[in-house]
Amino acid sequence: MKIEKGIISSSQLMFLIIGLIQASTLTSAFISGITKQDTWIVLLAGFIICLFLLWIYTSMSKKFPGKNLIEINGKIYGEYFGKIMGILYIYYFWFIIPANLRFITDFFSTYLFPETDNVVFAIITIIICIYTVKKGIEVIARSGFILAILSIIVCIFITIVTIKDMRLSNFLPFFQVNFKEFIEGTNLIISIPFGEIIVFLMIFPYVNHIKQVKKIAFGGLIIGGILFFNVIFRNTAILGNIAGIQVIPSYQVAKNINIGNVIERMEVLIAVVLLFNVFLKICIFYYATVLSIAQVFKLRCYKPLVIPVGVISVILSMTMFPSTVDEVYAASIYSVFVIPFIIIFPVISLIIASIRKLN
């Protein structure tokens, strides 16, 4: 039974992927904190690996056209084990909602509105997300198209106006990252900015030109990767190694912009774009969560689940991390926790489907 009736265009899919990757640039501080001026090397390594992962995801989609991830797992593993896999992915998708909700509320309550309790931002954000997700994938895709375009424009603008502040000497000396740091940084790059595109296996079936999904998905990943590289390069060239100790390096870069005492205080623009990007990311995973729950438990519609999932997500966002230290620790182990979901399970699924010649 097809629960989602909406259809999105190929271009909307591409910009959803770009927007998701742009939203994950907030993780660059975690990566830079480990690999410092060699973060660009780790980014390239992670990107190459994720091209392979995307090939796996699109190959699964091609083998099972019109089926999303939950339905594919049911076909491959059968009703019982397929349901277990579905529940595991519900947990994965759902975890990302309160985690990102907590991050964006902490950011606004710390940097912009320190007198306001962060639960206020969490409630406002989730109400907007509830409205968007209830409207379906078509509204999410249209919103993603607009927000991704805005994010690209701001990213390019900030880079252009800060060229004069860039120092290539901040990249020296090259290749100082050791093997352990390289693995840790690459794992972070794979698990957060790029590996999260597995969520689009929940969206691929609703693209109007299903045969173009592979080409469009790779196009979105490549453009998103280039923009992510631009952010890493710019922040390192301007801030040097202190980029790793900034919570939001791009915010600090924009804060330093001053062109003739006319163009300044651009950090507000970065804050707005960050809010839009994280909003889009939450909506994508929110949609994947409620759709997955509806399909695993054979419900006729996912919309009655939207409000309960949103309320629980707000509660979790306020309670899952007792302090900022716990939040940082969770980010450090998250990259290990997600390996089965973005690498091991998809690889095993594709191998089983190929051996059994399922389609």
32 alpha carbon, distance to own chain's centre: 18
Measured at the CA of 217, the angle between CA 145 and CA 90, to 5 degrees, comes to 85
| Inter-residue contact 8 to 141 (CB < 8 Å) | yes
- The one-digit pLDDT tens for each residue of the chain (359 residues) are 578 788 999 999 999 999 999 888 766 666 776 777 788 888 899 999 999 999 999 999 999 998 999 999 999 998 899 999 999 999 999 999 999 998 888 888 877 787 888 889 899 999 999 999 999 999 999 999 999 999 999 889 888 888 888 888 888 878 788 888 888 888 888 888 788 999 999 999 999 988 889 999 999 999 999 999 998 888 888 887 776 666 677 877 887 777 766 677 777 888 888 889 999 999 999 999 999 999 999 998 999 999 999 999 999 998 887 776 677 677 778 888 899 999 999 999 999 998 887 66
Cβ atoms of 20 and 188 within 8 Å: the answer is no
The answer to whether 105 and 113 have CB atoms below 8 angstroms apart is no
Q: Structure pTM?
A: 0.93
DSSP letter string, 274-311: HHHHHHHHHHHHHHHHHHHHHHHTT-S-SHHHHHHHHH
**Residues 66/359, Cβ–Cβ less than 8 Å:** no
